[in-house]
Structure 1
C-alpha cells in the first residue's frame, strides 16, 4: 500500500513523519503496584489512597481523586506498595483491562495496575487517551486462565506513537472538551430522569392535579380497568421467520416472525424467566409470545396505564412466583390497585410524561452521537491522520 506524502510506516502503524515511534520506557517510568498484607489491620484505613479493582469506574473520568480503600503509612512502608506522584497515569491491566486515568493526588495502587510517571516528552492526559484507544491491542496482549491479564514485561517493551509535546497537549485538550460535553449531558439526563420520576409520583397518584381537572379518582384493581391477554407460544412447527418482532420478555425482540398477533400499540409484561414482570410498550405490530399484553381500548388511556405500570414496576416484580424460574401471569397483576381518573385526565397526564420521555430520548440521542464523534476524533487525532494546528 502506497504511503501518503508526509507519513511513514512504523512498528505502531503509519504515523506522520514528524512523530516518533518510541519505546514508552524512554519517555516515562513504569511502576507496579502492591497489596499490603490484609492480615495486618494496622496497614489499612489510613490516609494513603490505594487504587484497586473496586475503583475501575473511577478510571473512566479525566482524573481519579478518591479511592474506595486506603492504607496507612505502616502499610506503605512494610510492603512493596509505592506512593506515586500526582499526575501518574494508572492503567488497569487485570480483569477490566484498558481503563486508564490520571492520579489527582499522590496514591498507591494494587498489583492489578501498571503506572507510568511521564517525563517531559510525554503528556499524561495524551497517554490516557492513547491507552483508551488501544482496545484491539490490549485484547491481543491479554493472557491468563482465570482473569484477563497483561503482564508487566509487556509494558516495559511497549512502543507508542509520540507526537511533539505541543500537539499532545492539543489532542488531549480537544478530546477533554468532548468528554466534558459528554459528562454534562450525562448529568442533564440524570437530572431529567429524576424530574420525570418525581412527576410520575405526583401526577399518577393524584398528589398533584393538572389545571381544569377536579373529578374524584377511583382506585380499582388493574384487572377491572383493562383486559389482560396471554401471549401465544411459537413452536418449531409454527415458526416462520419474518420481520415481525417476537416479544417474549426483556427490552429486545427474541427473534422475528412472519405474522403478528397484536396490532397497534401494545403493552407487554414479561411472563417468565429473569425478566419476568418487565413492562414495555410497543408502537407497531408484534407477535406476543411469553408475555401478557394490554391493547388500546375505550375506557382508559394506554399510555396512562403504561406509566402506572412503570411506577409500580417494583410491586410487579414482587408478584413473581415459581422460585428459581420466576413467573408472572395475568392473575398475578390483576389485583394490583390502580388509580383511575377520568379518561381525559389520564390522557392529559400521559401527554406530559410522553413529552418528558421525548426530551430524554433527544438528549440520549445527542449523547450517543457525541460518543460516536469522539470515537472518530480519537481514531483521527491519535494516529495523526488529522492534525491540529
Structure 2
C-alpha cells in the first residue's frame, strides 16, 4: 500500500516488533510482526514497551487456552463477533523479568521448531508413500515386460480381476442401537484412520452369540466405508486388532481369500483407488453410497501372492515411519502445552544468566 493510500484509508500501520491480534475474524490469533504492517479493522495492533515485555513472550501468553477462552467470552456481535478494545486493555499479563521472558519464549520456540521439523518429515514420508504406491501398483517389483489392461499398463505376469473373485464374501455391518458401554465394541466409519482400523471413537453393543459370531471381525478383514460424504465414501482400512469387535452398518466387510490376495495389498490398492471407488457410488443430496454388488465388480490388479506381500511390506515400512513421527509430534504437542502452562503462569521459574550456573 502506498503512503497516499494509507492517508486516505482507515488502515493503520503497526511498526515492526510489536504484536497483532485478530479481534474480529479468527478471534484470538496473534503474532509478532517482523516488518511494518498495515492492518484493517479485523486486527488490532498492540504497541508494546519493549523495556518491560518481550513481544514473543506476549504472543505465547496469548496462545494459552485459558486466554483464548477469555477472548471468546469477551467477543460481542451477532453476524461478525469482535472483541471491544477496552476488554483487550483490561487483560492481565504476568511480567517476569525481561531476560526470563525472553528465555521462556526461546524454550517454547525451540519446541515449536521441533514440531515443524516433525511435520516436514511426516509430509516427506507421505509424499514418498504416494509416489511408491503409484509406481508399485503399475510397475510392480523388478518387471521388464508390460502389457495393456483395463487398468492401464501392468506387468505382463499380472492379472486383472474383480474383487468378487478374490474374496470369500462381502457383508454389510450391524444396524443396531449403540451405547457408551456394553458387551462388544463396534467399529464405525470414523474408526478407520490412515488405512487401519483403530480402537478409537468406539461405541458398544449387546448381542446374542449367533449375531456376534456373524459380525465378529477377524484379523485381515478389509472394511470399506460405503456411506459417507462424496469426498470420504470408499475410505478403506484393514482390521488387525486383538479382541472381539463387530462393525456398523455404514461399512462393508471384505474377507479376502488368503491363498489369492494379501489383505494389506488389497487395502493399499483401494486407498490408492478412492477416486475410482467414488465413481461407482450413487450420489444423494448430502451423501454417497457404494453397494456391495458394485464393489464386487470393482477391478484390481493381481500380482503373484509373494509379490503382493513384498509391495505391502514396502508400504507398511513407510507407514511405520509416518506413525512414529506422528507419535513424536503428539508427544511434542503435549510437552509444549505442559511447558506453556508451567512457564507462562509462573508455576515453574526459568533461571537466566549467572543464576543458572
Bucket of the pairwise TM-score, normalised by the shorter protein = 0.7 to 0.9
- Per the alignment, residue 255 of structure 1 pairs with 203
Q: CA deviation at 1:215?
A: 7.1
1:124 to 32, 50, 55: 55
Alignment of structure 1 residues 16-31 onto 2, 5 Å? none
Alignment of structure 1 residues 91-240 onto 2, 5 Å? 91-119=21-49, 120-133=51-64, 134-206=67-139, 208-209=141-142, 216-236=157-177
Summarize the Cα distance change of 1:79–1:314 in structure 2 as closer, same or farther, 3 Å threshold.
same
Kept in 1: contact 2:118–2:329 (CA 8 A) = yes
- Per the alignment, residue 4 of structure 1 pairs with none
Alignment of structure 1 residues 287-326 onto 2, 5 Å? 287-288=246-247, 289-298=249-258, 299-324=260-285, 325-326=287-288
Q: CA deviation at 1:331?
A: 2.5
- Per the alignment, residue 9 of structure 2 pairs with 79
Kept in 2: contact 1:228–1:292 (CA 8 A) = no
CA distance in 2, matches of 1:340, 1:210: 14
Summarize the Cα distance change of 1:357–1:141 in structure 2 as closer, same or farther, 3 Å threshold.
same
CA distance in 2, matches of 1:228, 1:77: 73
Structure 1 residues 63-102: Cα deviation after superposition (integer angstroms, max 9, x where no partner): xxxxxxxxx4443221111122122211112242221111
1:350 to 312, 315, 337: 312
Kept in 2: contact 1:114–1:155 (CA 8 A) = no
Structure 1 residues 21-56: Cα deviation after superposition (integer angstroms, max 9, x where no partner): xxxxxxxxxxxxxxxxxxxxxxxxxxx4xxxxxxxx
User: Aligned pair count?
Assistant: 317
Q: CA deviation at 1:141?
A: 2.0
CA distance in 1, matches of 2:255, 2:302: 17
By relative contact order (CA 8 Å, sep 6+), the higher-ranking structure is: 2
CA distance in 2, matches of 1:174, 1:249: 36
Q: CA deviation at 1:227?
A: 4.3
Structure 1 residues 233-266: Cα deviation after superposition (integer angstroms, max 9, x where no partner): 3335999933422325663546222354122232
- Per the alignment, residue 342 of structure 2 pairs with 380
Kept in 1: contact 2:17–2:33 (CA 8 A) = yes
1:277 to 227, 234, 237: 234
CA distance in 2, matches of 1:80, 1:344: 69
CA distance in 2, matches of 1:210, 1:301: 20
Kept in 2: contact 1:202–1:208 (CA 8 A) = no
- Per the alignment, residue 286 of structure 1 pairs with 245
- Per the alignment, residue 17 of structure 1 pairs with none
Alignment of structure 1 residues 7-18 onto 2, 5 Å? none
Q: Secondary structure at the match of 2:227?
A: coil
Deviates more, 1:201-210 or 1:184-193: 201-210
CA distance in 2, matches of 1:312, 1:237: 31
Query: Any stretches of 5+ residues in structure 1 without a counterpart?
Result: 1-47, 49-71
- Per the alignment, residue 354 of structure 2 pairs with none
Kept in 2: contact 1:249–1:269 (CA 8 A) = no
Summarize the Cα distance change of 1:109–1:364 in structure 2 as closer, same or farther, 3 Å threshold.
same
Structure 1 residues 261-281: Cα deviation after superposition (integer angstroms, max 9, x where no partner): 122232111122324322122
1:339 to 281, 301, 307: 301
Deviates more, 1:304-313 or 1:271-280: 271-280
CA distance in 1, matches of 2:43, 2:37: 12
Q: CA deviation at 1:167?
A: 0.7
Alignment of structure 1 residues 22-101 onto 2, 5 Å? 48=1, 72-101=2-31
Q: CA deviation at 1:339?
A: 1.4
Q: Secondary structure at the match of 2:32?
A: strand
